[in-house]
Amino acid sequence: MNKKMVAVLMLAGVSFVSGSKVTAQTGSGAATSKSGQVASDQDIQLLRKDIRADKKQLIAANLVLTPAEATKFWPVYDQYQAEYTKIGDAKLALIKEYANNWGTITDDQALNYLKRSEAINESAIQLRAKYVPIVNQVLPGKKTATFFQMERRIEGLMDVQLASQIPLVQDQQ
């Protein structure tokens, strides 16, 4: 994998969470970090767009495709990514709700957040499973597997970075 692109992607992930734990949300829809940095919804959407572009460049740089394969693959990738963005929207909404309620989260809310988080993770798994045969219609098996390996690695890197910035629910006391 191109190390420069991984570094760019990780930097984008770090920027997404402003390098500190999200602890509150203002009425304007902006997320505020413990360091006092504020990321507006518009800022977050622009950053997500940049991350998607970086992710596509990373995949393009590392998934070796013939011109014919590329012609067939990239429209499928764009369709997949559009569906994946909806999962990202759900994840972001959950994080913002968690941040907004930080300090007053009840046991029932904590369990609800956990269930919703697991449902979001399951929807990502289901989306990948849905797209394996679709991608395999335009790419041979090894390239299909490579694409999903890369997809999973990128998602894992971003999930680790994001998880490291979200405080544990028991820490709200």
Q: In percent, how much of the chain has pLDDT > 90?
A: 48
26-38 tens-digit pLDDT:
344 444 444 444 4
Better pLDDT: 158 or 116: 116
The predicted-structure confidence for 144-157, as pLDDT tens digits, reads as follows 999 999 999 988 88
Query: Half-sphere exposure (CA, 13 Å, Cβ side) for 131?
Result: 23
Q: How far is CA 95 from the centre of its chain?
A: 12
Single out the residue of 76, 169, 156, 96 nearest to residue 121, CA to CA.
156
- Which pTM does this prediction carry? 0.73
What does the pLDDT read at residue 159?
A: 84
Separation of alpha carbons 62 and 71, rounded Å:
16
- Specify the pLDDT at position 149: 95
Contact 71, 58 (CB under 8 A): no
Q: Which residue has the higher pLDDT, 52 or 13?
A: 52
Rounded average pLDDT over 91-97: 89
Annotated domain spans of the chain: 3-172
